Amino acid sequence: MALSYVGGKNRIAPVLIHPNIHPHLDKIDKFVEVFSGAFWTYIQSDEIYKKVDKVIYNDVNPYMTNLFRCASDPKTFSKFIDEEKIPRQKRGYPELSKPCKEFFDKCKRELFDGDTDAAIKKITKTLCEDPNLDTKQIVDQLRKLREELKIIKDEDEKNIELTNQSKEERINSIKDKINKLLTEKKCKLSARAIKLKEKNELIEKREKNNNDLRDKFGEQIANHVPDQKAAMRYAYILTCSFSGINPVYSEFQDYKGEYGSKFQAFYNRLTSDKFIPRLEKIDTCENMSFEEVIKDHDSPTTYFYCDPPYWNTESYYSLHGFGEDEHKQLKKLLTSDGFKGKFALSYYDFPQLSDMYPEPKFRWERKEFVKPAGAKEGMKQSTGEEVLIMNYPKKVLDKTE
């Protein structure tokens, strides 16, 4: 959907996931993405929407659930966006950056705890720029004075340069300067510690407030009535910030007229003849836990694609309470005797994974890929290995298929 969202499968889906899903959709009438996120695996597929009767979106993040509820009626949603006339960055028009940033900030204030976020930014700026909190200059002065003090202490009396002060007087003078600087440094560090404590308290407050806002929004959309304005704002935040950054803490990405708007690319999917049928095929957008959605939709004719937050990277995901216990609970559900459907499960490999889903009981397929995040100019992008685990054997295709 042209949305930057952590864990998105836009690169790996065509080469690893789709080839292992598409041949196994016969006798499947329902396709469920348990951790849908930006829904890349489904949206990029040219086959899933044609082969199944129902497509179920699910994410514990209510803002994403609401966004796809709106997107599942793409003509109505695109018309709403048209009427809002929101600013978009455009190649060759750097002057559009200012109104786009202003609208981005407005979207964040409307959805998240903007007041506390602004207070945190103010303190962060003070910590970086206030000379009364900066000890770097004092540290440099102390280093020079200590070097000078060592030289004086090492001087032989006969080699002392002509001075009106004795060696002891010179030493005491430098010691006095050092003590004054140490006192000043202590005061600055104390003031800085107070600011840091205030900042940390605000960060905790922002976290709590945003969780409360998320839960309140979840209650608001529980009746399955989409909120188009909130969806548009959330999509704007996702498409105007750095790829994969938690939208709650994201900053506006200014293209300075060098590139076009990613929001425009998102909008284009809503109006594309290629993508409209896929979006309209989405039957339900759930805001459930993974346990609930698996239990509610499990059947012999259901296919589950599971892309949980990866092991030891769970904190990167937005508004997800997921950890080691949840990984184990997911494994318990998918491997229980009562589980009826097919599943494919995405992970990076980690030591416990082979114990949780041992081969050959479960089929493993692996693919090395270039990681989109973390690349720097002039440096080679890092690679990783994606693992896809399935509870069904590889289908041997007839030569006529």
**pLDDT per residue over 135-160, tens digit each?**
999 999 999 999 998 888 887 655 55
**Average of per-residue pLDDT across 239-259:** 87
Q: H/E element holding 56?
A: strand 54-58
Do residues 24 and 101 share a domain? no
Do residues 321 and 369 share a domain? yes
Query: What is the DSSP-derived secondary structure letter of residue 15?
Result: I
Query: What is the DSSP-derived secondary structure letter of residue 395?
Result: P
- pLDDT above 70: residue 100: yes
Residue 115 lies in a domain: yes
What is the average pLDDT value for the chain, to the nearest integer? 89
Residue 189: which domain range? Answer: 82-261
- Strand 54-58: give its sheet, edge to edge: 282-286, 54-58, 30-33, 302-306, 342-348, 383-390, 363-370
Residue 143 lies in a domain: yes
Q: What are the φ and ψ backbone dihedral angles of 255, each rounded to 5 degrees?
A: -85, -10
pLDDT at residue number 21? 95
pLDDT band for 312, please (50, 70, 90 cuts): low
pLDDT at residue number 374? 43
Do residues 14 and 146 share a domain? no
254 close to 264: Cβ distance less than 8 angstroms: no
Q: Which of 242, 261, 280 is the last residue of a domain?
A: 261
Do residues 174 and 300 share a domain? no
pLDDT at residue number 161? 55
* Length reported for the chain: 401
- pLDDT above 80: residue 85: yes
Burial class, 358, CB count within 10 angstroms (exposed 0-12 / middle 13-18 / buried 19+): exposed
**Digit-coded pLDDT (tens) for 335-386:** 999 999 999 999 988 888 999 999 989 999 998 876 554 444 445 556 778 9
Residue 370 lies in a domain: yes
pLDDT at residue number 249? 85
Do residues 255 and 295 share a domain? no
Residue 269 lies in a domain: no
pLDDT at residue number 4? 62
pTM here? 0.84
Do residues 151 and 254 share a domain? yes
pLDDT at residue number 310? 81
- pLDDT above 80: residue 79: yes
- Count how many domains the chain has: 2
pLDDT at residue number 281? 97
**Average of per-residue pLDDT across 228-235:** 97
pLDDT band for 245, please (50, 70, 90 cuts): confident
* β-pairing verdict for 302-306 and 342-348: parallel
pLDDT at residue number 395? 72
Q: Which of 246, 261, 276 is the last residue of a domain?
A: 261
Residue 77 lies in a domain: no
Which residues 6+ apart lie within 8 Å of 327 measured at CB? 308, 311, 356
**Digit-coded pLDDT (tens) for 164-202:** 678 888 889 999 999 999 999 999 999 999 999 999 999
**What span, in angstroms and rounded, lies between the C-alpha atoms of 63 and 221?**
9
